[in-house]
Structure 1
Amino acid sequence: MTKMPKIYRDVPSWDGMRTAAIGTGSFADAQSGALFLAEACDELREEGFEALVGPMDGSTWGTYRLQVWSDGSPGFFMEPAGAAHDLATYESAGFEVAELHVSASAQPGSRGYEDAVPGVSVKSWDGKDPQALLSNAYALVMDGFRTTPFFTPVPEPLFLEKYSPLLAQADPRFILKATDDNGATIGLTLAFPDPMRIGAIVLKTYVGSLPGAGRAMADRVHTLAGEHGFKEVVHALMRSGIASEAQSRKFSGTVFRRYALMGRRL
C-alpha cells in the first residue's frame, strides 16, 4: 500500500536557501514517484522556495534519509527503511545527495579510551529518576548538536515525550553518564540491545561537553557489550565527515549501510 509523502514548508535551511522537504512515504514505483517529485518542485518554485530535500519529516527529529547501499545484513531498531526504488525515484527527478550517513559494526571490547580523559568518570544509569536523566540529556543535546545541519531546537517537553518510551524499554547498564571531578554531568550515552539485529548493542546517541568524553563513553559501551556476551556494537546513523564517523574508525568500525538525504536546487 502506498502513502504519498507530505510536503513540509517550515524546515531548516539547506545551504542558506529557502527550503522545503518531502516527508517519508512510499511510491508505487520510480516513475510515479519521480512525477510526484517533479510536480512538487514546480509548485514550490512558484511559491518562492529555492531548494527541496527529502525524505525528511520536517527536521532531523522526524524520520529522514533513505538507504543507498547495504551489505545485506539485518536491519536494526529505528533504522530508516524504504523501497528498493526510492533512490532511483529521487535521482530520476533530478535530486542529488545532500548529506551522506553511515552505520558501522565493531567488535565488542575496550580500546583503552575509558580512562583517557583525566577527571572523567563513566558509570551506568541506576534506572532511577528517568526525567532527571532526560533533562540532563536535553541540555547536552541542544548544545552539542546546535551546529548540525537540519537540526532544530525543540522544547524540553517534546524531547521528553520522544525519548521517554525509549528509556522505558532500555537496559540501564547501557545508558551511561559521564561526570567530572565536581560531579557535574558532562556526557550522556543511549545504547541498547537490539531486538531486530540479534546479538547487537546499538550505540544510538552520545554527546559530551568535554573533548574525549564521548570516546570514553563509547569505549565503556564496547566493554559492557563484551562482558555481557554481545557479538557486535552498531555505530548507528553517523553523518559522514564529522567526529562520530572518525571515532567509529578508531573502534575499527566496518560500514554495513549507507544512507542519503537527497536535495535539489529549484
Structure 2
Amino acid sequence: MTRETLKAEGASLTIHLDGPVWDGVQAATIGDVAFRDPQAGAALLGDALARIRAAGRDRVLGPMAGDTWHSYRFVSESDGSKPFLLEPSNRPEEPAIFADAGFRPVAHYFSARMALTGEDPPPPPADARFRITAWDGAAPEDLFREVFALSCAAFAGNAFYTPIDEAAFLAMYRPVMPMMTPDLILLARRPDGSLAGYLFAIPNLVEGPKTKTVILKTYASLERGAGRHLIHACHKTARAMGFETVIHALIHDDNISAERSRREGADVFRRYALMGLPLDV
C-alpha cells in the first residue's frame, strides 16, 4: 500500500510512500497532520516513521499530502492574523513535534501583504510576444486544461515537483472554480492564441463577501517578462474593483517571485517551512 492513514485517540496523519524526489531519491511524505493531543501525535509520528523505514524509504518530507500540488508546509512564523482563503494552517505545537522527531526545515516560504492605494504605477514596456487579457468566464474546463499543460512545463524544474495527470488536476480545481472571479483570472496569450502565462487571484472570502483583500494565489509563465506584466495587471484590476490590500501568497524564498514581491513593497506577515528527515534504513 502506497498510502495509509493512521489514527489514534487525539491524532491522525497520512503516509504517502511515493512522494517527490529529495536528495536524488524518492521520499515518503507525511500529510493531513492533525495532532489534537501532542503526546498522541508524537507517538503516532513515531509509528509512521517506523512504517516508512520498514517500507525501505530513507527520506521523509512533511507535512505534505503526497506532493506539492496538494497541501504542504507548516506555518513557522506569523503576525497572528487569521489564515486567508486556501492557506495551510496547523496547530502551533505540530512543527515542534516534527522537530523533536529529527525533522529539519528543507525549504522556506512566505506570504506578504501590500496596500493597493494611490495611483497605478507605470506599466511594464509593451511586449509583442504576448498580450494580457482577463478570462471571459467561458469554458472553465477548457481553460484549466490549458493551465494544466502550462503548469507542468513551468513547474517541472521546481524542487519536490511530482507530475500528476490532467484528471487529477481538474478534480483538484473544480471545487475552487465557483469562487473564482473572471476579471481576476489573467492570461498572457501569444499572437497565435496559445497560452504563455496565467495568474489566478481570488478574493479573501474568509473575511466575508465584501472583503477588501485579494489573494494573488498562483502565477506561471513560459515567456520571460510575462509574470511582471501579469502582476501589474492583477494589481491594477484589483484597485479598480475596490480592493485595498493584496496578499502575495505562499512564495518560495528563492523564487524570482520573492524578489518581485519585495520590489513592490509588500511586507511579510507569515512564514512557512517544509521539513525533512533522512532515515537510516
Task: Give the TM-score category using the shorter length.
Answer: over 0.9
Query: Which residue, out of 235, 250, 256, partners 2:269?
Result: 256
Aligned pairs for 1:159-238 within 5 A: 159-197=169-207, 198-238=211-251
Which blocks of at least 5 consecutive residues in structure 2 are unaligned?
A: 1-8
Distance 1:121 1:87, change over 3 A: same
Aligned pairs for 1:2-151 within 5 A: 2-108=10-116, 110-151=120-161
Tell me the C-alpha RMSD between the 2 structures.
Answer: 1.8
Amino acid at match of 2:36: A
TM-score by length of 1: 0.93
Distance 1:30 1:131, change over 3 A: same
Deviation of 1:114 (Å): 4.4
Distance 1:120 1:96, change over 3 A: same
> Cα deviation per residue 1:130-185 (whole Å; 9 max; x = unaligned)?
12211211111010001112222221122122223322221111011112233332
Q: How many angstroms apart in 2 are the aligned matches of 1:138 and 1:114? A: 27
* Further displaced range: 1-10 or 139-148: 1-10
Amino acid at match of 2:199: T
Which blocks of at least 5 consecutive residues in structure 1 are unaligned?
A: none
Q: How many angstroms apart in 1 are the aligned matches of 2:181 and 2:90? A: 28
* Further displaced range: 249-258 or 35-44: 35-44
1:158 aligns with 2:168: yes
* Equivalent residue, structure 1, for 2:4: none
Identity %: 35
Q: How many angstroms apart in 2 are the aligned matches of 1:137 and 1:194? A: 22
Q: How many angstroms apart in 2 are the aligned matches of 1:59 and 1:206? A: 18
Amino acid at match of 2:240: E
TM-score by length of 2: 0.88
3-state DSSP class of the match of 1:196?
helix
- Does the CA contact (< 8 Å) of 1:35 and 1:93 recur in 2? no
Q: How many angstroms apart in 2 are the aligned matches of 1:194 and 1:61? A: 20
Q: For this pair of structures, how many residues does the alignment match? A: 266
Deviation of 1:15 (Å): 1.5
Q: How many angstroms apart in 2 are the aligned matches of 1:3 and 1:57? A: 16
Higher strand share: 2
